[in-house]
Every structure is written in C-alpha cells, then in structure tokens.
Structure 1
Amino acid sequence: MSARELITEHLGLWTEAVTKKSSSGRGSNGKVELTGVKKLRELILELAVRGKLVTQDKDDGPVSLLLKKIESEKSAQLKAKAIRKPKKLPEIQEIEQPFPIPVSWRYCRLNELGVWGSGATPKRGNSHYYGGGIPWFKSGELYKDFIDSSEETITELAVQETSVRMNQPGDVLIAMYGATIGKASILEVAGTTNQAVCACTPWPGISNRFLLLLLKAYRSRFIAMGAGGAQPNISREKIIATVIGLPPEEEQHRIVQKVDELMALCDRLEQQTSDQLEAHETLVDTLLGTLTQSENATELADNWARLAAHFDTLFTTEQSIDKLKQTILQLAVMGRLAKPANQEEEPIESLVENLASERADGDNKTSQRKKKDSPQIASKGFRHPIPENWKWIKFGETWINSFYGPRFAKHDYVPSGGIPTVRTTDMDDKGRIDLRNAPTVLVPANKKELYLLEKNDILVTRSGSIGVTAVYDLETPAIPSAYLIRLRLCPSINPHYVFIYLNSPHGQKSLGVHSTAVGVPNVNATKMASFDFPLPPKEEQSRIVQKVDELIALCDQLKERLNQACKTRCQLAETIVEQGLSA
C-alpha cells in the first residue's frame, strides 16, 4: 500500500480521532486535539526517514559516492583549518540499526551529515555583549521550520570573546533541553544560539530540508534519550552518535517534496475538521440556547422536541455534552426542569419566614461563630424568569453563617493523628470530597467547634480556581483549608440545590468564574451574600435535585461511551501507523 493510499483510505479515521486537550482549572476552554491528524503527520515523517515514502530510482547517484564527496570536502576544510578534526566515532553495530532501509541507502551517524556545534550564553553581567545586531536564539524560539529573528541579540564583541558559535543561513538547529528537546528549525539568517541549542552546517550533498524532517521524525527518540533526570536533557555527543538511514542526494529532494505535499494535505484535513467542529459547536450553542430562552412550557417542549430529533448528531463531542449539562443546571434554577409545587405544599412565603427564623436562631447559638453576612448589600444581580411560586432572595438569606478556612503554620501539620483539611484538589466536579490525600493538622481543642465542618455545609473556593464547590456529607471530622469559604445553610435549604445553583451558568457568572479581569480571581462571603438566588419551595428543591441527578447521570453515561469510542479510534489510528511502518 502506497503512502497516499494509506492516507486516503483512512481519511475518516484521521479526522475523527480527536481527544480533549489537557488543561487545568475550572477555566478550561474545552479545546480538542486532532489526534488522528497528529498521528498522520508522525507517520509521514517516519515513512520518509525509512525510505517508504517515495520509490527508489536506480539512476540516482550511489550513497557511497555522496559519502566520498563529503569526505573530500571535510579533508579540504581540515587542511584549511576551517574546522576542527572531529572525534572518530565507533563503527555502527547491527544492534544500533533502528529499522530496515532500502538497499540504495546507507546507515550512518548524524555526525557524518555536517559540522555540529552547540552555543553558549555570554556573561549576562557584561552589557557590551548584548543588544547588538547578531541574533541569539534560545531553544524556545525553535517553534517553526524557518526562523529569522530572535528575542535577544548579541554583539560582535560577544562573538570574539566568548564560545558562542556563529551559524550561517541554511544551518539546522535542534533544541537539547527540557520541554523543547528535539524541536528543530532552519536558520534564514546568520546567528548564534545559547547552550541549549545544537547547530549543524550540512555538508554538500546533504539537504538541510531533509535533515530538518529527519530530526523532526527522530524527536520522540531524542526525548527518550533525555529521560531519567530531574530535567530531560540531551547533549551534542548523543545527537551526533545517533544512527540514521541516508538516501542518495536526489532522493533526499524527492522525499522533501513528497513530505511537503502530504503535510499540505494534513493542513487541509486539519482546517476542514476544525471548521466542522466549530460549526457543530455553534449549532449546539444555538439549539441549547432556545431551551433557556423559552418563554413558557409549551415553547420549551417544542424546542426540546426539535433538539431531541437530532440528539445523536448534536451530542457527539465531550464539549457538547458539557454544554448540555450546563443547560440542565440552568433550566433547573429557572424552574423548568421538575414538577412544580402543588397547593398542598408549603408556600414560598412560609419558607422565606422560616429562613429568617433559622438564621436568627443559628446566629445566636454561639458567640464564637462569625456573625452572619448581611444580604442587604446592593448588587447588579443576574435575574432570569422564574415560576410565580418561586421568589428571588439574596443568597445570604439561605445560610446561617460563613467561615473562612484557617491558616496553619508548617509545624501544625502532622503525618497522623490530626484532622484532615479539605482543599480544592480534594473536591470533584460532582461536589464530592475525597480525604484520602488530604493533609492533617493539629487543632487546639478550643477551636474545634469553630473550625469543624458539619454535614451539609457548602464549600466554595474563594481564590484562584474560584467556583469549585462541594457539599460536605462525610462522617469524618474535617476542616476547610485557607482558600475555602464554608457556608452553613439554613435547615430548610437543600444543600444539593445550592450546589446546582452555584454550578449553573447563573451561579458561575455571579461568582465571576469566567471573568476577564486582570489579577488573581477571588470572591468573598460578603459578595456572595449579595448574589440573587432563585428560591423554589422546599419540596420542589428535592424534586429538582433528583431530576438533575438523573439527567447528569445520563450525560455521564453518554460521555463515557463517547470517550470509549474516541479511545478506540485513536487506537485504530495507532494500529494503522504501526502497520504502515511494518509493511
């Protein structure tokens, strides 16, 4: 099977194999990585350096002649003292040969392809070394195939007085340190590098474009060479000793041309897939938006029917399912999800009176607890339509008091015998708390009543990853960590409804989760007390929680099946790559 057939016969797989990009924090943008196309690019490069991308031509000059030409040029430069005599490397053993190559190719070490040298950093304290007209590249700047400008420059004096290597246009650079290991670029200008970059001036007959794609294909191997230390690094010595397959000069150019052609095809596939995903996301946003914008139950039912008719084609990505979850939560706090209260249930006015009474009783129980937060603070608020038997109140009217997690000195933490402290990292997106890895502290006896959490307390992250929330429902004694706010709810408030509220688009907007403000995001109890809170009757709160649990569970099942399907597609792509390389 030719390279083109390998690609074109599996187009669907290359474009459908996608995975969610790894990200941290509640501010994840939910972007996806086109894993299939990424694997396809890797396959193209691997086929290229194994001699499987283009056909061999018997009219090409033999590699032995090319190697003789290189030796002749090397001897001439040594005689002219233009280069130093390179260290002789051992003969290539069969065990070093990375893969079979065509009979017209030869195994050689990278050292034979050019003159290699690493850079240096002129002394930072000498201002005469910096700010000149000579580009000075660092490893992080090797992010594209051709580079012509650097973040910093050095002077002629730095070149004369330090060990920096002056590289010429056409030289090939490769990064040797940290996360950039194996990244490679071709210089389009004369320039220098720091010590984290190795440069190669290719010998005549060695295409710098071929050397570039060769280094890119070998990147995973270079990364493996650097593994094991605190920071992954490789050296010039490891690079030049690496064994590769060298094709005739003419074939090098044909390989470069074919790789360019196939990479352009990958670019088109990537763009097409990205456009489709973007259009799909817009469609999902539009249709889900009709649900929350429905003015009455009839319109909501019609809009849901329209969405349900295309459910299998709409919710085919992890992002679309996450958006469905958010819509469910928003519908819940709008009173559109559960069966409304009947006349036999407690009216909303009675619930509001009970809350006021419970707040007063709770606040008078102990003088140690922080005074309840006043909900009478003016706020802009985010109000949406709610049922007539609901009521808008301030969020602070739903809790008895709030408490900021205490700070502890280093010596207060103990390996055993202490009380676990709940951190944001101990709380999951379903509001559950896992104390297995929570640090433990010694708490003075006179502070335990103040610090200890009670069942149904609400925890909210107040700084950094704001908006992460949980309901404390464990029997194990625990206290909130310093970056959490503890809310002790009134008994008439269902804590799981509060969790739904805080995680709904309404609640997240109130918390400022997606704010673009500069600085570390934060929220406090005083601000939270002023949030507009859509209060349903007590019995309806429980029905809302039950319905949300049912629907979110269905979403999780759908996402699990989707993730399994994505995993299968990625495994298939990997299998095709392996088959293509072993054919």
Structure 2
Amino acid sequence: MSELPSGWARTSLGEIATWGSGGTPSRSEPNFYGGSIPWIKSGELNARYVKSTEENITEAAVSGSSAKIFPAGSVAIAMYGATIGKTAILGVDAATNQACAVGAPIEGLTSSEFLYRLLQNEKDAFIEKGKGGAQPNISQAVIKAHEVSLPPLAEQTRIAQKLDELLAQVDTLKARIDGIPALLKRFRQSVLAAAVSGRLTEEWRHHLGIPNPTDGKLSDCIEAMIGGASPKTTDYSAAGMLALNKGDIKEYGRVEIKQNPKYVPFEFVEINSKKVILDRTVLVTLRDLSQKADFLGLIGRYRGEQPALITQGMYGLKVNPRVAIEDYLIAFSNSPQYRTQVKREKVGATQVHLRNGQFLDFAVPIFVIEEQTEIVRRVEQLFAFADQLEAKVASAKSRIDHLTQSILAKAFRGELVPQDPNDEPASVLLERIKAQRAAAPKAKRGRKASA
C-alpha cells in the first residue's frame, strides 16, 4: 500500500502479537496421548473458533516434547502444504502441532478478532510466499516479518464488528447456495421416478390412447452382453488402445475417462478383439469398488472417436430395438426404482458386484417405443433445465467466494468504515505499547506455555 489511511501505520505481525509454534509428541509414548489438553492439527483450522479437537495430549507430552500450551484467544495459522494460510481463534487453552504458528495478540495493541481477520486477508500473500519448494511452506520467521497495515485501536474494533456483520450475511448466502446442488439431485431423482412409473407421460399416453406399460425384466430388453477383458497390471502400457474400466461409468449415462487413462498394447487387443467397442456403444458396470455401490449397475454410452477396450466388470450391451430404446434404459438405470433393486441384490464385501443373471432379472416397466421416446425427450428437457440452474449456481458460488476476499481487502484498505480523527494514531499506539512492554517486569517462567 503506497498511501496509508489516516491514522494507520505499517508494522509487522511480529510487532503486534507474540508468536510460537507447536510440536508433535512421540507416538511411541502411550502416556503422551489421551489427556485433557486439546491438541490442534493444521487440518482442524476450519471454523472461526477451535473449541474441540480430534486428539488430546497429556501434561507429560507437553513436558517431554516441543508441544506447548497457547492461551484461549490466540490465533493459529497453518504453515504447511494445502492448508497454508488457514486460520482460527483458539476457543480454549490448547497445544498445536508443528504445522501451526500461533500468535497471542499483544494486549492494548490489537485483539483476537482483528488479528484473525487480518490473517484471513493475508492468506493469498502467505500462499505466494510459500511457493518454490516441493510443498508450499512458510515459517514462523516469515510470519513474524510479514508487513501489515495497522489501524488505530478503536478503528480495529469498528472494522472487526463490520466484518462480522457483512461476512455473516455472506455465510448465509453460501449456506443457501451450497444447499442447491442437493435440491437439484433430488429434483433429477423425482423426474426419473415419475418417468419410469409412467406419471411423467400419463396424460400424453391417455390422450393418444397408448396402452399402459407392462411389467418386464431387463432380459426382455437386452439381446446380448459382451464381457470385458482381464488385463494384468503388466499388460498395461503407455500407448496403444484406450482401456475403459468399471469406474468410468458415472451417473446419467456419462462415461468419463480418467485424467490418467490406461492403455493396452495392440498385441493384447488382437487377442481380445471381441472386447473392443466403438463410439455410442451402450455399457453397464457390474462391479463397484465403493461400498455405497453408487455406480454399480449403471448403464452409460461410450462417446469416443477411437475404439476402446472394455475390461473386467464392464459389459457391452446389445439392446433389443423392438422392446426398448437405449436412452430409456440409461434413464431407468439411474431411477430410484432401479437403484433400490441394485442395493438390495448386490453381493460382495470389499468389491460389491452383481451377477449377470441378477442384472438381467431386474424388473423394468416396458412402455411402447413411442412412449419411451417421449419419456426420454421430457427427461432430457427437465435435466437441461437443472443443468442450467447448476451452471448459474456454480457461477454465483464463485462470485460469493470472491466476495469474502473482496470485503476483507476493502476493510484493510481503510474503505469499510470511516476514519475518526479523534482516534489515537496507530504509530503512537505502537510506540506507547512498546515502551510499556519494555518497562514491565519480565514474567516468571512457570508451566511450559506460550506467552
């Protein structure tokens, strides 16, 4: 900042708080853990206040390691890796691991609430300072030397209060926006439930005099299933033909290729030529590595310019065109009625799966082809509406995320609340507190803790 607001001063974080860092007591000492002292890890700096922790340590751990106790009201900031710059106020006396630096605000100079907001505003600067190594890191020394603009004490209070007011409104907006994707997921499920039950096209069907759907099985709709190949780890290569696997079929008919796709050499493909599929081939996955079985039994369509090899757990489907259309079966495989059957019939422990016979035996309502086509048209139309809403939500979420940083930046440029010429200038405040601290008698050392 080239020009400071009236009454503000440039200083460093080391001048406005007393800093320390924590440590990790030895895991080989069982009497170090399970005590009454909260022990904070950098990954726990998620809320404004940290009042409870995943682990507690003992007095012996504090005495026998570099861990130390910081008083409630201190402000912790993460120094390492993906959490760098995350910050929180200690709601209780607590120790931290070595990935956290902790600043105790100097009394009369700043407050916990202001320091917390100040560190929030500086997060991007700390991330930038941490670049350069294999993992982004900053040190306690970097934090202490980091320069900031300090307002007068009274203005600090006004800024903190105004930020609380505005950011509470932002948090409310975030909560509402974050709840919309779940609503859209329920909307899509309701559409599919109505579609396969016949409710979605009921009036259309009666108007045209089309017969009601009949009870059928997937075996009525599918003429053939082509199983996948079983390449060993050594069969994969850096080039060759794309190999699809069971995890590539996602919701709503999507077949998504991983960021690091697998390939098999063409010699392997020649031996397994019947397992090769072309663009628009309909697939099903009958194995799922997750216990929730979210993708088990899903039907999707491969869309790729190049042929691909399907692997164990996947099947290419040949749909009987006289009984069903492919897009109807894809929609059906995502419906609540079908997912209930899958979760009831799945077998296996570490890797859940469906046997071919189970899959083909699943109940499916069979509409006439004309109505299946109309069902797919209506589902796609309603899903397109949901997709548009989802895109707008993502855009709004991005703007709200930027709004927090924008408000913080405005606050620390001196633009959020007015300056008061009657406030004691920050430069005078800094000198006065510095003189008071120099004249004060040194505190006696007692229990190992940070000042």
In structure 2, the residue matched to 1:452 is 276
Shift of 1:198: 0.6
Q: Against the structure 1 CA distance between its residues 183 and 408, is the aligned structure 2 distance closer, same or farther, given a 3 Å change threshold?
A: same
1:434 & 1:149 partners in 2: Cα distance? 40
Deviation sequence 1:481-522 (CA, Å, 0-9, x none): 334244343453432332232123322333339x9x997654
User: What letter corresponds to residue 507 of structure 1 in structure 2?
Assistant: Y
Q: Does 1:419 align with 2:241?
A: yes
RCO higher in structure (CA 8 A, sep ≥6): 2
Deviation of the 1:122 alpha carbon: 1.9
- TM-score normalised by L of structure 1: 0.57
In the alignment, which residue of structure 1 is the partner of 2:48? 145
The change in CA–CA distance for 1:446 and 1:155 in structure 2 (over 3 A counts) is closer
Opposite residue 466 of structure 1, the aligned amino acid is: L
Question: In the alignment, which residue of structure 1 is the partner of 2:116?
Answer: 212
Establish whether residue 487 from structure 1 lines up as the match of residue 317 from structure 2. yes
> Is 2:375 aligned against 1:512?
no
Distance 1:392 1:182, change over 3 A: same
CA distance in 2, matches of 1:395, 1:548: 18
Alignment CA distance shift 1:251-1:430 (3 Å): closer
Per the TM alignment, residue 467 of structure 1 is displaced from its structure 2 partner at its CA by 4.6
Residues 290-347 of structure 1 deviation map (CA, whole Å, 9 limit, x = unaligned): xxxxxxxxxxxxxxxxxxxxxxxxxxx7766665554554444344539659999xxx
1:234 maps onto 2:143 in alignment: no
Name 1:297's counterpart in structure 2: none
| Aligned ranges 1:559-574 → 2 under 5 Å | 559-560=387-388, 563=391, 567=395
Q: Deviation per CA, 1:262-313, whole angstroms, max 9, x where unpaired?
A: 4455566667x57xx98xxxxxxxxxxxxxxxxxxxxxxxxxxxxxxxxxxx
Equivalent residue, structure 2, for 1:333: 196
Map 1:271-310 → 2, pairs under 5 A:
273=176
Question: Structure 1 CA distance, aligned partners of 2:281 and 2:206?
Answer: 24
Query: 2: CA distance between counterparts of 1:145 and 1:568?
Result: 23
1:456–1:489: 8 Å Cα contact kept in structure 2?
no
Q: CA deviation at 1:445?
A: 4.1
Corresponding letter in the other structure for 1:500: A
Shift of 1:532: 0.8
Helix, strand or coil: the match of 1:107?
strand
Q: Report the residue type matching 1:250 in the other structure.
A: A
Q: Do 1:110 and 1:243's aligned partners in 2 also have CA atoms closer than 8 Å? A: yes
Q: Is the 8 A contact 2:170 2:404 kept in 1?
A: no
Cα distance between partner residues in 2 of 1:576 and 1:154 = 35
Offset at 1:419?
A: 3.3
Seen in structure 2, the aligned counterparts of structure 1 residues 473 and 490 have a Cα distance that, compared at 3 Å, is: farther
Equivalent AA in structure 2 for residue 469 of structure 1: I
SS for the counterpart of 1:499 is helix
Offset, 1:143? 2.9
Residue 16 of structure 2 corresponds to 113
Check whether the contact 2:299–2:329 (CA below 8 A) recurs between aligned residues. no
Question: 1:198 maps to which residue?
Answer: 101
* SS state at 1:414 partner: coil
Q: Provide, for residues 526-582 of structure 1, a one-character-per-residue CA deviation record: whole Å limited to 9, x for no partner.
A: 32222111123xxx3255235523651464267437735873796599699869938
Confirm or deny that 1:440 pairs with 2:263: yes
8 Å contact from structure 1 (residues 166, 190) kept in 2: yes
Report the Cα distance in structure 2 between the residues aligned to 1:568 and 1:173, rounded to whole angstroms: 30
Match of 2:369 among 541, 560, 571: 541
Picking from 152, 160, 180, the partner of 1:256 is 160
Tell me which amino acid in the other structure corresponds to 1:333. V
Matched ranges for 1:41-52 at <5 A: none
Q: Check if 1:102 corresponds to 2:10.
A: no
Counterpart Cα distance in 1 of 2:253 and 2:136:
37
Change (3 A) 1:248 1:519: farther
Evaluate the alpha carbon distance shift between residue 480 and residue 222 of structure 1 in structure 2; reply closer, same or farther with a 3 A threshold: same
CA distance in 1, matches of 2:58, 2:390: 56
Query: How far has the Cα of 1:118 moved from its partner?
Result: 1.2
Contact 1:497 1:542 in 2 (8 A): no
Tell me, in whole angstroms, the C-alpha distance in 1 between the residues paired with 2:357 and 2:379.
33
Q: Mark the structure with the bigger radius of gyration.
A: 1
Structure 1 unaligned spans of 5+: 1-96, 279-316, 345-386
* More displaced 10-residue stretch of structure 1: 129-138 or 237-246: 129-138
Greater Cα offset, 479-488 or 330-339: 330-339
Cα gap change, 1:558 to 1:190, in 2 (>3 Å): closer
TM-score calculated relative to the size of structure 2: 0.71
In 2, Cα distance between the equivalents of 1:576 and 1:212? 14
Please say if 1:395 is aligned against 2:218: yes
2:228 aligns with: 405
- Per-residue CA deviation, residues 226-252 of structure 1 (Å, 9 max, x unaligned), is 345554332212211211111223332
Does the CA-based 8 Å contact 2:22-2:95 persist in structure 1?
yes
Which structure features the higher share of strand residues?
Answer: 2
- Preserved contact between residue 192 and residue 379 of structure 2 (Cα < 8 Å): no
5+ residue gaps, structure 2: 416-451
Residue 435 of structure 1 and its aligned partner are, at CA, apart by 6.9
Q: Distance in 2 between matches of 1:267 and 1:558?
A: 24
The secondary structure found in structure 1 opposite 2:253 is coil
Shift in CA distance, 101/116, structure 1 to aligned 2, threshold 3 Å? same
Distance 2:319 2:330 in 1: 11
Q: Within 1, Cα distance between the matches of 2:249 and 2:23?
A: 47
Contact 1:462 1:524 in 2 (8 A): no
Change (3 A) 1:246 1:318: closer
In the aligned structure 2, how far is the partner of 1:390 from the partner of 1:128? Answer: 68
The question of 1:167 aligning with 2:70 is answered yes
Q: Determine the structure 2 residue equivalent to 1:377.
A: none
**Which residue identity lines up with residue 337 of structure 2 in the other structure?**
H
Distance in 2 (CA, whole Å) between partners of 1:247 and 1:218 is: 15
